[in-house]
């Protein structure tokens, strides 16, 4: 199919109908003004099935088998999508009964080629990672199960409402394997309302992304990247005009699973300045009336984390770009002058999800999650007075922040699946479940992690592998140490317990009732004194001001196993004790380095052990030799 001009047609344009079509060359064709069929006017259900930002029918080029050559084509002015890959599992229609096509699986075919194509003035330029049901209706986000490199090479996307979109692609296996292999390489994006929206791990590489044309034909703000499920990637790209008015590098919005660590690296700009970011304000009270998935109060909206791998966007390698919701901020963030409600954070974030298998979304219990660390602001979020789904939150990892869940009620299925996602091996998230230590028949297990049970909070904090501690008559603590990108711990029980009312600020009104009334459920006016050191015997989760009362073994309290010997367990310490089972913070090393006086034990790192060592001698006189 070559050198044709198709225009003003109804439904799909250049149309691979059954998915059996392979080895064809579709070259240098122009398809203009593809129109959406009216109801009952469609030829197939997919002609007018969807009209969403990320899924718009019809398509000027409707591709049901990728094993074809698409080069030098133009889609312009379509009411739907320029190029759409929707791949059935087997040939459909008349092809389904022909033996010649036996064994063909379109969703497992390689890409022939996709080079030098253009989409201009379309509602959506490009869509991928959907499948088709046998009746030709669209099965969104189901995926393309072929792990070879899929290059969208040398293409131009100009003046589209949305230039390129990739679906989740999660129905065929590991999402990184089957979506990160899609690369928009050596592409040019110019004057699109939104240039890039990725619900997958797909990549835009070695491309130019221009905010506006010379005439600035867009009447609204141009957005470079709409942060969606992701986590998408932009590498080695050049940005033009993104520090000007009516531009925004990062467009927000809700997502079913809002992954952290959308990755950027190798970014250059025409003016050498950071691109403009203009987020909405998320530092607001939870809405008592907005129950929609796009409520600004919902974590599926305000959770936004871009990881700047090399510092080319923020100026510092490893920094995260985050929104201004209090759960995202600690107080040590930076804000470039052209950023609004967005910050460069020195912290790393992973995604923690609570799932409730076999439980309908509307039955998922509400919960308050509170972030706690001595010296950092305590922040809380109620999940959720609004749209119900799995519970997903970004957690700061590897820095000793404790995230404490307190449930309003328990799931009827007596099961919680804790998922740590978007992690690097070695990432550690500390999690607490208030009151769940009283559950009868409680079991924690993991099919991937070598999960161990420990006997104290101090053991938990020192553990280099995934571990949990069940506080007798109290809470459940979990130290999730990642071994890869995604892992989970399954928590089940046989006998429920009565939970305390969920009243974070202790004013007698529950968190849910306060939000419904338009009040702040986390407005704690009085400081609570107590031991704030996570791992001390008398650690007080409610305390927010340290009062010096912390007790560490063997002074004032003991380990659960009283027969076990405590002492110095570090082999390089001068008082190392081979019989000690638990470390009591008494280890001593040779002289403290003048370059790092806080490294009390001289192990080259300022860590919990240094704090314990100081506290074990707290109040003792210093004697001259």
CATH architecture for residues 351-516: Sandwich (2.60)
3-state helix, strand, coil in the chain (%, to 5): 10, 30, 60
CA 454 to centroid of chain Cα atoms: 29
DSSP 336-395: -TTEESEEEESS-EEEEEEE-TT--GGGPPPEEEEEE-TTS--EEEEE-SS----EEEEE
DSSP 103-151: T--GGGPPP-EEES-EEES-SEEEEEEEEE-TTS-EETT------S-EE
- Is a pLDDT exceeding 70 seen at residue 597? no
- Per-residue pLDDT band for 531 (boundaries 50, 70, 90) equals confident
Q: Which CA distances in Å does 456 have to 477, 479, 481, 554, 568?
A: 10, 12, 17, 13, 17
Helix (H) or strand (E) holding 308: strand 305-308
pLDDT digits (tens, 9 = 90+) for 373-384: 999 999 999 999
pLDDT digits (tens, 9 = 90+) for 455-465: 999 999 899 99
pLDDT of res. 564: 42
pLDDT of res. 625: 42
pLDDT of res. 390: 97
Most confident of 240-249, 518-527, 548-557: 240-249
Tokens of 380: 């809380």
CA 305 – CA 166 distance, rounded (Å): 19
- Is a pLDDT exceeding 50 seen at residue 561? no
- Per-residue pLDDT band for 562 (boundaries 50, 70, 90) equals very low
pLDDT of res. 589: 62
Beta bridge pairs of residue 352: 393, 420
CA 434 – CA 212 distance, rounded (Å): 52
pLDDT digits (tens, 9 = 90+) for 166-186: 999 989 999 999 999 999 999
Residue 98, SS3?
Answer: coil
Q: Mean pLDDT across the chain, nearest whole number?
A: 90
Mean pLDDT, residues 555-562: 48
| 263 secondary structure, DSSP code | E
Rg (CA), the chain: 28
Place of tokens 């392979």: 22
Mean pLDDT, residues 195-220: 87
Mean pLDDT, residues 127-136: 96
- Per-residue pLDDT band for 358 (boundaries 50, 70, 90) equals very high
Mean pLDDT, residues 332-354: 97
Write out 479-519 in H/E/C secondary structure.
Answer: EEECCCCCEEEEEECCECCCCCCCCCCCCCCCHHHHHHCCC
- Per-residue pLDDT band for 537 (boundaries 50, 70, 90) equals confident
CA 17 – CA 515 distance, rounded (Å): 52
pLDDT digits (tens, 9 = 90+) for 431-441: 999 999 999 99
Least confident of 55-59, 187-191, 325-329, 487-491: 55-59
pLDDT of res. 541: 72
pLDDT of res. 563: 39
Residue 326, SS3?
Answer: helix
Q: Cis peptide leading into 58, omega within 30 of 0?
A: yes
pLDDT of res. 554: 54
CA dihedral for 360, 365, 366, 369, sign (positive or negative): negative
- Per-residue pLDDT band for 143 (boundaries 50, 70, 90) equals very high
pLDDT of res. 529: 77
Place of tokens 């904090």: 461
Mean pLDDT, residues 283-287: 93
Work out the number of other CB atoms within 10 angstroms of the CB of residue 561: 12
Least confident of 59-73, 115-129, 518-532, 593-607: 593-607
| 423 secondary structure, DSSP code | P
pLDDT of res. 622: 60
pLDDT of res. 534: 64
Q: Are strands 529-530 and 545-546 parallel, antiparallel or unpaired?
A: parallel
CA dihedral 326, 327, 333, 339 (to 10 degrees): -60
Residue 567, SS3?
Answer: strand
pLDDT of res. 530: 83
Tokens of 58: 């019809």
pLDDT of res. 147: 97
Least confident of 243-252, 316-325, 536-545: 536-545
- Per-residue pLDDT band for 545 (boundaries 50, 70, 90) equals confident
Q: Are 348 and 308 in contact (CB under 8 A)?
A: no
| Phi-psi sector, 399: left (phi>0), alpha (psi -120 to 50), beta | alpha
| 437 secondary structure, DSSP code | G
Question: The whole model's pTM is what?
Answer: 0.84
| 224 secondary structure, DSSP code | E
Q: Are 79 and 56 in contact (CB under 8 A)?
A: yes
pLDDT of res. 574: 79
Mean pLDDT, residues 136-156: 97
- Per-residue pLDDT band for 573 (boundaries 50, 70, 90) equals confident
- Is a pLDDT exceeding 90 seen at residue 492? yes
CA 501 – CA 381 distance, rounded (Å): 16
pLDDT digits (tens, 9 = 90+) for 404-448: 999 999 999 999 999 999 999 999 999 999 999 999 999 999 999
Main-chain phi, psi angles of 269, to 5 degrees? -130, 160
Mean pLDDT, residues 291-307: 96
Q: Give me the residue spans of the domains in the chain.
A: 5-346, 351-516, 552-625
- Per-residue pLDDT band for 78 (boundaries 50, 70, 90) equals very high
């Amino acid at each position: 199919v070559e050198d044709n001009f198709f225009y003003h047609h109804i439904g799909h344009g250049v149309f691979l109908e059954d998915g059996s079509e392979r080895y064809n060359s579709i070259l240098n064709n122009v398809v203009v003004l593809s129109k959406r069929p009216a109801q009952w006017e469609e030829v197939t259900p997919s002609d007018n099935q969807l009209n969403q930002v990320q899924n718009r029918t019809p398509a000027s080029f409707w591709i049901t088998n990728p094993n074809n050559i698409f080069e030098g084509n133009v889609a312009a002015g379509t009411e739907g999508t320029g190029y759409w890959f929707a791949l059935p599992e087997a040939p459909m229609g008349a092809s389904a009964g022909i033996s010649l096509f036996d064994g063909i699986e379109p969703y497992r075919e390689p890409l022939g080629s996709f080079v030098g194509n253009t989409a201009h003035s379309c509602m959506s330029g490009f869509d991928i990672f959907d499948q088709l049901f046998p009746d030709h209706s669209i099965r969104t986000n189901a995926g393309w199960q072929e792990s070879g490199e899929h290059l969208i090479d040398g293409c131009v996307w100009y003046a589209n409402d949305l230039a390129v979109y990739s679906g989740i692609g999660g129905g065929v296996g590991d999402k990184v394997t089957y979506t990160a292999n899609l690369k928009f390489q050596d592409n040019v994006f110019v004057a699109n309302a939104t240039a890039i929206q990725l619900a997958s791990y797909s990549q835009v590489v070695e491309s130019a992304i221009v905010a506006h044309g010379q005439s600035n034909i867009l009447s609204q703000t141009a957005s470079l990247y709409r942060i969606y499920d992701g986590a998408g990637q932009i590498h080695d790209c050049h940005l033009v005009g993104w520090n000007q008015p009516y531009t925004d590098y990062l467009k927000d919005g809700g997502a079913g699973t809002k992954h952290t660590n959308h990755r950027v690296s190798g970014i250059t700009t025409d003016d050498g300045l950071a691109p403009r970011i203009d987020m909405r304000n998320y530092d607001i009270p939870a809405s008592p009336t907005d129950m929609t998935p796009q409520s600004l109060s919902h974590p599926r909206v305000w959770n936004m984390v871009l990881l700047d791998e090399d510092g080319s966007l923020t100026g510092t390698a490893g920094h995260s770009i985050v929104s201004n919701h209090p759960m995202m901020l600690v107080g040590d963030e930076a804000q470039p002058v052209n950023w609004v409600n967005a910050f460069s954070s020195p912290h790393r974030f992973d995604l923690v999800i609570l799932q409730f298998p076999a439980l309908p979304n509307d039955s998922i219990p509400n919960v308050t999650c509170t972030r706690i660390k001595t010296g950092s602001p305590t922040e809380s979020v109620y999940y959720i007075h609004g749209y119900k789904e799995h519970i997903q939150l970004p957690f700061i990892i590897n820095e000793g922040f404790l995230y404490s869940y307190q449930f309003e009620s328990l799931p009827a299925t007596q099961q919680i699946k804790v998922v740590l996602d978007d992690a690097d091996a070695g990432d550690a998230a500390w999690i607490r479940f208030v009151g769940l230590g009283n559950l009868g028949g409680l079991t924690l297990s993991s099919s991937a992690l070598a999960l161990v049970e420990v006997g104290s909070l101090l053991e938990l904090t020192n553990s280099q592998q995934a571990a949990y501690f069940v506080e007798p008559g109290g809470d459940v603590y979990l130290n999730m140490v990642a071994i890869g990108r995604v892992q989970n711990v399954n928590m089940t029980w046989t006998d429920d317990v009565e939970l305390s009312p969920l009243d974070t600020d202790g004013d007698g009104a529950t968190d849910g009732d306060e939000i419904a009334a338009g009040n702040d459920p986390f407005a704690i006016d009085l400081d609570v004194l107590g031991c704030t050191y996570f791992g001390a015997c008398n650690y007080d989760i409610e305390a927010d001001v340290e009062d010096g009362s912390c007790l560490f073994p063997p002074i004032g309290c003991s380990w659960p196993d009283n027969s076990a010997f405590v002492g110095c367990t570090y082999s390089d310490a001068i008082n190392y004790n081979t019989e000690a089972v638990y470390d009591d913070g008494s280890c001593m090393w040779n002289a403290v380095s003048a370059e790092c006086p806080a490294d009390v034990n001289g192990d080259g790192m300022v860590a919990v052990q240094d704090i314990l060592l100081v506290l074990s001698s707290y109040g003792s006189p210093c004697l001259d030799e």
